[in-house]
Chains A and B, each alone.
Chain A
Amino acid sequence: MKSKHEYSVDLLDKSIPSGMTRRSFIRRLGGGLVIAVALSDFDVLKASVAQQYPTDLNAYLKIGADGRVSCFTGKIEMGQGVITSLAQMLAEELDVPLASVDMIMGDTDLCPYDQGTWGSLTTRFFGPPLRAAGAEARAILLQMASENLGTPVSGLTVADGVVFVANDKNKKVSYAELVKGAKIIKTLQEKPPLKDPKDFKIIGKPISRIDGKEKVLGTAKYSGDMRYPGMVFAKILRPPSHASKLIKADISAVESVSEITLINQDGIIAVLHPDPEIAERYLSHIKAEYETPTTSLNENTIFDHLIKSAPEGTSVGEGGTLTEGTAQSELTFESEFRDGYVAHAPIEPHTALAVIKNGKMKVWASTQNPFGLKKNIADSLGLKEENVQILQVFIGGGFGGKSSNGQAMEAAKLAKISGKPVMVAWTRREEFFYDSFRPAAVIKIKSGCKKSGQIMLWDYGVYFAGQRGAAHFYNIPNHKTTAYNASWTAPKVHPFATGAWRAPSNNTNTFARESHIDIMAAKLGIDPIQFRLQNLNDERMIRTLKAASARFGWKSLKSPSGKGYGVACGVDAGAYVAIIAQVKVDKKSGNVKVERVVVAQDMGLVINPLGATMQAEGCVTMGMGYALSETVQFTGGDVLNRNFDTYKLPRFSWVPKIEIELLDLPNEPAQGGGEPAIICMGALLANAIHDAIGVRMYQMPMTPERILEALKKKS
């Protein structure tokens, strides 16, 4: 299912290296509309996302009579830590203590509209208007204080929400006294500037999560923790496969059971009961017959299917000519990379509680997209938008997977039909079945270079991963990047839903590009970092790569050196990242033990270095999963993974020593931080495995079986 947001994320993802500003990218939008976006137009795009945000500062903040400051944002907290970094931004500009800020997140009645929490957009695009609102409020409060204290603004100072007369600290008035719990009615014609980074007291400081305490106490509320008088759980009849058609459902066994509410309406068969297990038990008494077409499509045959199903390609970037590039090359290389479907697998499955009372529907849902959910509920249930409210809860991990809101739509529908407060809490099996997986994909690369190591040719085709991160950032005179299906969705091609998965497209693209670069370096006998540096002219990437190299203590090597060292770099959400790893590979078992990972990241201004460090650490650990073990097994639309026994998440025993180096660039705009580091994990480990044992892995995940197979082929 294509949703509007994915295009805006795609457009706004500034995975645009600074060395490529003259090039135009063709990007395909929904409905066949094709537009050309000059990369130098990034600011125009930025403005188009920013225009969704209101200009009235009262939409972002409220100063209570008690001095507490409410910060309103349509973003949600799913572990990525914006609950803390957004509070830092407001506290900094407003000059109030961080501890006085209360975050009101994702409540559609209270918060300004937001298109959704994804694409590492929060800090980059919501941050600036939030800071501006804080700065404007501070300037207005200073004017009000000036009148109150009879002193010109120039003679006032502010600290912790109290305005003082600079030369007489006994004369003071607090923000709370000035505002008295009311709205700030004044506005300024000329908006005050944001604070200079050198004056920061809260931004740029490592701040512990402000939601930590309620989370360690177990009192933090997720949607499944909400309770409502008369609440029932809904268990819904599910098909065995996404391709199945319901032929007949015999509900006679449960029709007259008085303790349940049976729903058989609008294409949904469900059992409602206050206890989810009793509801489940009665649901199992319903005998359903399905027709499911036979299929040979599975995790092994999918790649041929993708190539056969590929639409016409769209150019993601090009320069020079491929003929010229081939002519100029002394050595040529050709490779094909594959990536299987990957699940989001948050530990919290999709859950929602919907309550309809006096014509107004309230929904608590694990969603990355509360405003989209509100609209979908209103549209599909024939309610007015003002009669639907999505309320604030914590989200137990999202990673892009909690954007399509299936569970919440089910809860809302069943609440409307039954009139009861309905909770839909997907089981792990339902979570796997209805997940929008990261798409399986194929990438084909042809390249050529001089014997000196100068890359002259780059012909890159990506099938179904999507185009984010497809464009390379090396200095190559003749190159073409083509996306065969530019999005991460392709409903008619994939046997189930696919969608955005943390740094969508870019994980697969970076795996292919950085593996292929390594193949070239190894063949030429050039150190892989040196090879990258000699083909880069993007200063930010060069600096990031050198930072990683220095922190790791990299010494020049020819791969395979037997040391198990690997490197990969990439750009995502405006941030530059370079990672170096050291691995050990057991040639008998094929097992990979990642021992040390060093990440260098240029993400511009870092709002919360502690939060950013934790995100990068999380990227490394989560990324080991897709690189080494995670893949969805299926027969057509029947998802065979039903739980964590067959779908293998990273564990404590896998985790290496992780070191994060954030480059200090306070005067550069803040970039994304929740996604970038994860993009490198595939190529990083493929390159390290190659350096360790001399075999090249072309398909993720790089399981022990595949490594043994590659070793066998080599010998």
Chain B
Amino acid sequence: MKETIRFVLNGQTKEITVDPERTLLWVLRNDLELTGTKYGCGMGYCGACSILIDDKAVRSCMITADFVNGKNVVTIEGLGTEEKLHPVQEAFLKHDALQCGYCTPGMIIRATALLKDNPMPSRDEIILALDDNFCRCGAHTRIIDAVQTAGKELKGGK
């Protein structure tokens, strides 16, 4: 019952043959070894598994693999590199906007989607956008600051 799914993953065309009913999160983590996308709750509540699909933040624990057919998928691994961080990653680093780091990929993905949609969000807009992403360590205020800085950085780069 396997199907071939074609999509763009982190800038590269991918073709995988999998059971289309499988949850995308586990296909990413196990078949494609992209372990930056985390399991947190498995029910779409926490946001640790967020990825970008056509520039929108989507919870990969809530969708099946076939959903990405023909779409453009970016995981945390596809945002920046060791040599050149994405401006959102750079801003998280600058503001020390993390502690244990487990929710961080999902936070960065959600923030990136927000900034694509709204390059200069207000503090309240950032809070609204991130409100369903959970951080247990309590890095919230620094994450908000980081997203504001990233917004300025991205807009400045235009």
Contacts and interface: CB of A to CB of B under 8 A. Distances in A.
B98 interface: yes
Interface string B48-78: 1000000000000000000000000001110
Interface in A168-216: 208-209, 211-213, 215-216
Contact of B102 (A208, A397, A618): A397
A650 B42 CA distance: 19
Contacts of A346: 100, 102, 136
Contact of B22 (A78, A277, A345): A277
Given A275-B22, A348-B40, A428-B40, A218 B105 contact: yes
B127 to A, nearest CB: 5
B22, B93, B137, B142: which has the most chain A beta carbons within 10 Å?
B137
A33 interface: no
A507 interface: no
B100 A395 contact: yes
Nearest to B135: A347
B113 interface: no
B11 interface: no
Interface residues of B, number: 57
Contact of A212 (B23, B96, B103, B141): B96
A222 B82 contact: no
A222 B102 contact: yes
A81 interface: yes
| Candidate in B42, B81, B85 with the most chain A CB atoms within 10 angstroms | B42
Interface string A381-417: 0000000000000111101000000000000000000
A619 B23 contact: no
Given A212-B96, A394-B101, A610-B96, A621 B138 contact: yes
Contact of A643 (B38, B45, B81, B85): B45
A650 to B, nearest CB: 7
A79 B101 contact: yes
Contact of A396 (B35, B90, B102): B102
Nearest to B81: A217
B62 to A, nearest CB: 13
A236 interface: no
Interface residues of A, number: 56
A618 B93 contact: no
Contacts of B98: 79, 209, 212, 215-216
A653 interface: yes
B137 A79 contact: yes
Given A617-B141, A652-B140, A428 B41 contact: yes
Nearest to A657: B141
A274 B30 contact: yes
A221 B105 CA distance: 12
B100 A396 contact: yes
B36 A617 contact: no
Interface of B: 22-23, 26, 29-30, 33, 35-43, 45-46, 48, 75-77, 80-82, 85, 89-90, 92-93, 96, 98-105, 108, 126-128, 130-144
7 contacts: A209-B98, A215-B104, A216-B101, A217-B82, A348-B100, A397-B99, A621-B141
